[in-house]
């Protein structure tokens, strides 16, 4: 009978251990299910964050591409305006040259028809640079006749300027 009691005690302790194991496993199962729920929530949050991030990144990329397109369009417009300004500048330079040539032609024609004494008097009163430009536009015989009628100092100064202008023109 003692054996039976020992067996009974062993059996009861086994049942108790089995019951404790079942309780442990049930508690562990609940704990694991809770962790699974937490992981699922974290995964869903991560997926929502990823989708939100990708949408935001796509939106930012589109905005960046639009700004790049705007900048490129502005650069093209600036390039076009620059080319247009260069054409206008060149046309203006040509017009100014034509006006200058016509003006100098008229001035040359006027001074060529004037008496040498009158031209010598007028050029003596002008700035030396301007007087030398006018003299250069005249016929060499007319220049010599005009300079002969000038004061020697003024004629000397103009001769040096003419020499310098002539050297600059030939070196270009």
Closest to 148 measured CA to CA, from 165, 129, 123: 123
pLDDT at 54: 93
Confidence of residue 84 (pLDDT cuts 50, 70, 90): very high
Model confidence pLDDT, tens digit, residues 89-116: 999 999 988 887 777 778 778 878 888 8
pLDDT at 9: 65
Q: What is the mean pLDDT of residues 41-62?
A: 93
pLDDT at 158: 85
Out of 7-11, 33-37, 81-85, 162-166, the most confident range is: 81-85
Average pLDDT, the chain: 85
Model confidence pLDDT, tens digit, residues 151-172: 988 888 888 888 877 666 556 5
pLDDT at 85 over 90: yes
pLDDT at 143 over 70: yes
Cβ-based burial of 30 (10 A; exposed 0-12, middle 13-18, buried ≥19): exposed
pLDDT at 55: 92
Q: Give φ, ψ of 136 to 5 degrees.
A: -65, -25
Map tokens 């250069």 to a residue.
136
CA dist., res. 1 & res. 73, Å (int): 105
């Amino acid at each position: 009978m003692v054996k039976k009691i020992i067996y009974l005690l062993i059996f009861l302790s086994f049942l108790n251990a089995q019951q404790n194991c079942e309780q442990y496993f049930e508690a562990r199962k609940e704990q694991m299910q809770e962790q699974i729920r937490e992981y699922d929530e974290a995964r869903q949050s991560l997926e929502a964050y990823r989708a939100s991030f990708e949408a935001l990144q796509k939106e930012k990329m589109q905005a960046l591409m639009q700004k790049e397109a705007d900048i490129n369009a502005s650069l093209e417009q600036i390039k076009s305006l620059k080319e247009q300004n260069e054409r206008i500048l060149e046309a203006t330079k040509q017009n100014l040259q034509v006006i200058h040539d016509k003006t100098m032609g008229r001035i040359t024609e006027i001074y060529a028809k004037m008496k040498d004494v009158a031209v010598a008097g007028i050029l003596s009163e002008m700035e030396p640079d301007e007087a030398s430009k006018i003299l250069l536009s005249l016929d060499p015989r007319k220049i010599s006749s005009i300079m002969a009628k000038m004061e020697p100092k003024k004629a000397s100064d103009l001769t040096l300027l003419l020499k310098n202008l002539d050297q600059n023109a030939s070196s270009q």
